[in-house]
Structure 1
């Protein structure tokens, strides 16, 4: 009977997790969707051509068929190479346009795309192209390669709803879709959402009580300001940046030994907490070492570009790996900071975007002059914790200058950073991207389709940073604004945050993205201001309740007529458990820690060399640090984090996958940290001179962050009583449960009542609502 009950509970929790997947299922575009009155090349035609045509008729000269480019207006309008009497596109005349005749033909010998390509246009796509040609076949520069401009705020039917400029753009689109926005969320839900988004931690009871009692008009704004001032804000903001920067505590590859890069992570946390403007934040990470009279802190910031994998394996080809490091830096710059897939041009011209292979290696040249080698040393002792170029940070510097570094011991602290050679290393286009196949020499430069590099700028990383923050650069501000929107709303205005090129998804609210991008630049790249702007909007403050009509009309919630609802990040699941139980150690920064982990994982995936060949679990306070401080060994990333979709930090990642599996439910039911947190909180509540129902209410508020209903209190209290009876019959089971975790039990412990309350608290941790941002 007991086995049946446990099996049923497992299935129930698994279903609860799986049900969340409805938040992530997208709807396919119907071929019967209405054709717009005015067809746009950027938003209607280019996506079709990019998906179905550009692989053979796009920017890649090596793969181009019949000499025809459809991504280029001049080429598309000129006479065809194979038939000078015909033209691919004749403006205003689809019946004379080879493109239209081929895509609409019933003759498979001339049909385009050819049947062998397994590509096919549906009837709506064909009709769109026909109407576009009939309307003049007007080409437009790709939306993301044009400079963003502030358009006037859209007029809305309900002028009372908007709280700031964001809401005008959102409401306008909602009204166009014949929907209305949700009401504002109840205060408890709103505070939990805000606290998780700004600090990654649940609100404490004091903050909940204070917010509920504050009926002043600016109560919400006061809560926002309070959370923005919290040191935990910098930690929450840094979590995303660690994914972007591919930060880890090991070098990677097979030997995968220790790396001492955590002081750079401490610098990032401090930068967010002190609200370092975004342009300075990035410039220091790209080129802090090239600043005039560069300080130790400025040089430390460049650890960003040394976070890539580095080999320590004897027998490798030195130049092969050195080139691999430069490629990694180039690709990270492109994906993270300008949101394009430049890596596709490493071996040939980009097939979809207007980036040539030459331009790839011109960008590569900025990162090709570092004083580094492919293999500096094989796995060994402390001298291999960082690779040249590197800096050593003394205890005196930590005490007096670099105070943000949390260094507790007297060991030598070294960090890999950036430093250029005295003489310029020549850069060549690499045939097929092979390290040993140099072709033509190139000088440092940037893609002309984005913004041509100003020759007055120095051709080094500092010049590249200046190019990046040139007000004419169309991508830099858009990309960061979109990433931040993604962090707060769960999905970017451009869903493909790392690809704003031809193959990326179109922005759902292009005018809003541009307005925010320009406004961000106009206000000095102020990150905290931008965060506050987003969370202060009526859009953000909506309820997450979803009606059947809205689910059917907008299943992905791309128009934001309700607040997004999604599971919080892997690290924050841990943070919520530790914080609500009172176990969390709130120390900022310092070396990464090794909490509980199943035995044998490292040993079975290790080369058997170096200090990371075996997993040595930490003890004491190190067991209760925030998830972002969990030690990441690249070849064996933390299993609990991986099950909840954390990055393994092999490469730059600007958006995490969202999955729902029964394994996640198993973690929440069996992980030692969850059970230990339940035990500790139960022990604290058990000694309080209050009734069982009051203990249940307090646990509920700490964990779920709202007051439970009477029905919920009754159900949980009944469960407590049932468990108490069960433990009285089988006291050994209570002893076993109370022994999990290293945090000591109090000397005087009512084992049976604590074990029963533990079960209630564990059930609360397993509620889908607990780890859901809604």
Structure 2
């Protein structure tokens, strides 16, 4: 650990000042990069200071050197402790500012950062700081805590490329960097992309043929509108929200017993299909039970708050776990809805963001009055499938009020929901976050750095929703439009979609983010309209072809000079296989299902109690449901989906990892669902007319969603011929065809079927099959 005093003796400082004053112009002339006309502390200066200076002159008092902070204006402007005649930053005077003198010095004994730190500012970074000081060295409130304003559309050199307002902002950045956008993707790839993004399903042959035959100027727009009207749209949109809401089918912790929370999932799908405005969608989930004359639907929506893990283990301390549940709801609120790391203030004041521990517990107070306990009951029968407070859903409810709930039996159906106690539970700051170490008592409130809690708001969750959707709240709209953008481009405008705070990444297109946020609010928080805007843009419609020049200039495709190319989510991998083979059962909602899974997984990780002690696979139609309905046991999540980076739903997750490992290839080659789908599709193709080439072409179109090239047809046909030779006897073929429970046709050539099954498995294993491009 190095330690250097920031200030020099008065005489040495005067000498350095004189030298720097003479040579400052030559120091900064080294940079050839064009500087912005106006230097912003948030977007130009702070990233430099954060990377190179804050380690010793930032918010961490334990690592601070020379008693100097550069992250706070008052600290940076004031006289230096050990050299009262000097100041780190003197507005308008870089040559009187010790920061500039030290970072531009070539003298290793005084330069900053010191050589021993292995940090060094570039000539461009030094020039930015110099120009910033010349322009007044003005600090700014963190960009994300300033209410967004709708900027004017930028002027661009090539307006012909633009399809809608989004494109002006993207093109402006590209032109600044000397890049041109890609041409529009071909119709086959564009249809697959839009269909997967909007519905989560591949287009069928009829949709492909209809779109390819439509030569009208608005063919794409008509196709998008058709996809948005599909009931599968609600399922696809709900998938991300299930991650956010940490939805699962078990309680978590060691016993991990069954949880009957799936009617809430049915409501989420219904809400998206009804195009419920975002402000209503969230308000019902946070405080539906507190609405005037709350309906059963509004009460069901509050299941969002009860999706957290719940213990059923005897011997736990009741209050410890009750506090844990409230903590989970508080942290989820921060990450999911306002995109900040509130949890960092659970034990002490936030180290980087302007949130005090007191403010954390003021937010905590909104969720602290629920009529719940830490341990309600141990593992048992249906009465433990939901924890109080709860609601019962009767068959009459499903017929009259909750028509969207897919309840198919007469059993009692119960769901955990919200319900506050009549008497207000006191909330205290918990010293070091310890559940029983009470400090100062606090009332419900919100961080002032974001937006003060208005006096007229009720101090309950209903008031919290009013605060959340106050149009002066700088985060709510920004955070959601960023999450939606991320769903279509694989990366948010703010890459750290769960952290808009000081340690989060800056937005790649800040003006676009603010324009989208304000536009979203101006148009009634209309989610489907936002989705349509994104997929209708020229930005979205580009091809994913990567040139070497663009790869070198923008390897992560931050500027979007091409369409992104990445693997589709785990649930959609399954959906593509089920839909293309014809196996998919499109029933919406209902209880989660248990498809094929390797034996013994649950048994090796269970306490041996409850109905989830062992895995009981489902049969018939339940084997062929969409991936989002696969049963999620938190302690042993579905293995195939886990390998494809699906969330185990332990906690709120606003962005999944996206990895590429050999295990994923092994799943596609060996999973019974993939092999069974290959077998079933092979039987259907062999049962129809046409040549081998026509059957291979049809399979390729169903799976990859485009026509194969002549070379691809020849390769696949040759593989089919090799497979025919490999199966010398029907008994050999039957060993391969025995996978899965779907009935095997009787009157069909088993050797040909096994050969075509192997060929189709090859198509399923193409990278393009499960890649959005």
Same fold (TM over 0.5): yes
2:343 is paired with a residue whose SS is helix
2:431 corresponds to 1:431: yes
1:680 corresponds in structure 2 to 680
Q: How does 1:185-334 map to 2 (within 5 A)?
A: 185-334=185-334
Asked if 2 retains the 8 angstrom alpha-carbon contact of 1:35 and 1:128, the reply is no
Cα deviations by residue, 1:215-236 (Å, 9 ceiling, x for unpaired): 1111111111111111100000
1:403 corresponds in structure 2 to 403
Q: In the aligned structure 1, how far is the partner of 2:419 from the partner of 2:99?
A: 52
Cα deviations by residue, 1:329-354 (Å, 9 ceiling, x for unpaired): 11111111111111111111111111
1:28 corresponds in structure 2 to none
Cα deviations by residue, 1:412-434 (Å, 9 ceiling, x for unpaired): 11111111111111111111111
Instruction: Say if 1:762 and 1:590 are closer, same or farther in 2 by CA, change over 3 A.
Output: same
1:499 corresponds in structure 2 to 499
Instruction: Say if 1:60 and 1:445 are closer, same or farther in 2 by CA, change over 3 A.
Output: farther
Asked if 2 retains the 8 angstrom alpha-carbon contact of 1:50 and 1:352, the reply is no
2:362 corresponds in structure 1 to 362
1:744 corresponds in structure 2 to 743
1:27 corresponds in structure 2 to none
2:160 is paired with a residue whose SS is coil
Cα deviations by residue, 1:524-572 (Å, 9 ceiling, x for unpaired): 0010111001101111111111111111111111111111111100000
Instruction: Say if 1:115 and 1:346 are closer, same or farther in 2 by CA, change over 3 A.
Output: farther
Cα deviations by residue, 1:295-323 (Å, 9 ceiling, x for unpaired): 11101100001111111111111111111
Q: In the aligned structure 2, how far is the partner of 1:653 from the partner of 1:264?
A: 18
Displacement of 1:73: 1.7
Displacement of 1:60: 6.6
Q: In the aligned structure 2, how far is the partner of 1:726 from the partner of 1:279?
A: 61
Asked if 2 retains the 8 angstrom alpha-carbon contact of 1:359 and 1:446, the reply is yes
Displacement of 1:119: 7.4
Displacement of 1:65: 6.6
Asked if 1 retains the 8 angstrom alpha-carbon contact of 2:181 and 2:562, the reply is yes
Q: In the aligned structure 2, how far is the partner of 1:266 from the partner of 1:395?
A: 15
Q: How many residues align?
A: 742
Cα deviations by residue, 1:142-169 (Å, 9 ceiling, x for unpaired): 1111111111111111121101101111
Asked if 2 retains the 8 angstrom alpha-carbon contact of 1:288 and 1:299, the reply is yes
1:390 corresponds in structure 2 to 390
Asked if 1 retains the 8 angstrom alpha-carbon contact of 2:299 and 2:417, the reply is yes
1:4 corresponds in structure 2 to none
Q: In the aligned structure 2, how far is the partner of 1:723 from the partner of 1:752?
A: 8
2:44 corresponds in structure 1 to 44
Instruction: Say if 1:428 and 1:110 are closer, same or farther in 2 by CA, change over 3 A.
Output: farther
Q: In the aligned structure 2, how far is the partner of 1:619 from the partner of 1:33?
A: 67
Q: In the aligned structure 2, how far is the partner of 1:104 from the partner of 1:327?
A: 47
Displacement of 1:448: 1.0
Displacement of 1:128: 3.7
Displacement of 1:82: 5.2
Q: In the aligned structure 2, how far is the partner of 1:408 from the partner of 1:77?
A: 69
Displacement of 1:732: 3.3
Cα deviations by residue, 1:47-103 (Å, 9 ceiling, x for unpaired): 233345556655577887766543322232123455544333222334443444565
Asked if 1 retains the 8 angstrom alpha-carbon contact of 2:632 and 2:648, the reply is yes
Displacement of 1:747: 2.1
1:138 corresponds in structure 2 to 138
2:445 corresponds in structure 1 to 445
Displacement of 1:649: 0.5
Displacement of 1:120: 3.2
Instruction: Say if 1:39 and 1:255 are closer, same or farther in 2 by CA, change over 3 A.
Output: same
Displacement of 1:35: 6.3
2:759 corresponds to 1:765: no
Q: In the aligned structure 2, how far is the partner of 1:401 from the partner of 1:581?
A: 36
Q: In the aligned structure 2, how far is the partner of 1:63 from the partner of 1:285?
A: 42
Cα deviations by residue, 1:710-738 (Å, 9 ceiling, x for unpaired): 111111111111111211x2543311110
Cα deviations by residue, 1:621-652 (Å, 9 ceiling, x for unpaired): 10000000000011111111111011111111
Asked if 2 retains the 8 angstrom alpha-carbon contact of 1:185 and 1:544, the reply is yes
Asked if 1 retains the 8 angstrom alpha-carbon contact of 2:733 and 2:750, the reply is yes
Asked if 2 retains the 8 angstrom alpha-carbon contact of 1:377 and 1:384, the reply is yes
Q: In the aligned structure 2, how far is the partner of 1:519 from the partner of 1:275?
A: 17
1:123 corresponds in structure 2 to 122
1:86 is paired with a residue whose SS is strand
Displacement of 1:403: 0.6
Instruction: Say if 1:287 and 1:656 are closer, same or farther in 2 by CA, change over 3 A.
Output: same
Instruction: Say if 1:771 and 1:54 are closer, same or farther in 2 by CA, change over 3 A.
Output: same
Q: How does 1:345-744 map to 2 (within 5 A)?
A: 345-727=345-727, 729-744=728-743
When normalised by structure 2's length, the TM-score is 0.93
Moved more, 740-749 or 461-470: 740-749
Displacement of 1:495: 0.7
Cα deviations by residue, 1:193-235 (Å, 9 ceiling, x for unpaired): 0100000000000010111111111111111111111110000
Asked if 2 retains the 8 angstrom alpha-carbon contact of 1:59 and 1:355, the reply is no
1:178 corresponds in structure 2 to 178
Q: In the aligned structure 1, how far is the partner of 2:105 from the partner of 2:377?
A: 63
Q: In the aligned structure 2, how far is the partner of 1:600 from the partner of 1:343?
A: 37
**Which runs of no fewer than 5 residues in structure 1 stay unpaired?**
1-30
Displacement of 1:494: 0.7
1:392 is paired with a residue whose SS is strand
Q: In the aligned structure 2, how far is the partner of 1:52 from the partner of 1:385?
A: 53
Asked if 2 retains the 8 angstrom alpha-carbon contact of 1:279 and 1:525, the reply is yes
2:428 is paired with a residue whose SS is strand
Q: In the aligned structure 1, how far is the partner of 2:674 from the partner of 2:771?
A: 16
Q: In the aligned structure 2, how far is the partner of 1:451 from the partner of 1:66?
A: 34
When normalised by structure 1's length, the TM-score is 0.93
2:92 corresponds to 1:92: yes
Asked if 1 retains the 8 angstrom alpha-carbon contact of 2:31 and 2:127, the reply is no
Q: In the aligned structure 2, how far is the partner of 1:95 from the partner of 1:436?
A: 55
Asked if 1 retains the 8 angstrom alpha-carbon contact of 2:103 and 2:121, the reply is no
Q: In the aligned structure 2, how far is the partner of 1:681 from the partner of 1:471?
A: 52
Cα deviations by residue, 1:723-774 (Å, 9 ceiling, x for unpaired): 11211x2543311110000111112121011111001100000000010111
Asked if 1 retains the 8 angstrom alpha-carbon contact of 2:645 and 2:657, the reply is yes
Instruction: Say if 1:622 and 1:553 are closer, same or farther in 2 by CA, change over 3 A.
Output: same
Asked if 2 retains the 8 angstrom alpha-carbon contact of 1:696 and 1:713, the reply is yes
**Which runs of no fewer than 5 residues in structure 2 stay unpaired?**
1-29
Asked if 1 retains the 8 angstrom alpha-carbon contact of 2:361 and 2:428, the reply is yes
1:190 is paired with a residue whose SS is helix
2:3 corresponds in structure 1 to none
Whose relative contact order is higher, 1 or 2, with alpha carbons under 8 Å and at least 6 apart?
1
Displacement of 1:355: 1.1
Cα deviations by residue, 1:335-389 (Å, 9 ceiling, x for unpaired): 1111111111111111111111111111111111111111111111111111111
Q: In the aligned structure 1, how far is the partner of 2:660 from the partner of 2:526?
A: 35
Asked if 2 retains the 8 angstrom alpha-carbon contact of 1:55 and 1:351, the reply is no
Displacement of 1:506: 0.9
Moved more, 621-630 or 375-384: 375-384
Q: In the aligned structure 1, how far is the partner of 2:273 from the partner of 2:619?
A: 29
Q: In the aligned structure 1, how far is the partner of 2:651 from the partner of 2:645?
A: 15
- Give 1 or 2 for the bigger CA radius of gyration: 2
1:16 corresponds in structure 2 to none
Root-mean-square deviation (CA, aligned residues, Å) is 2.0
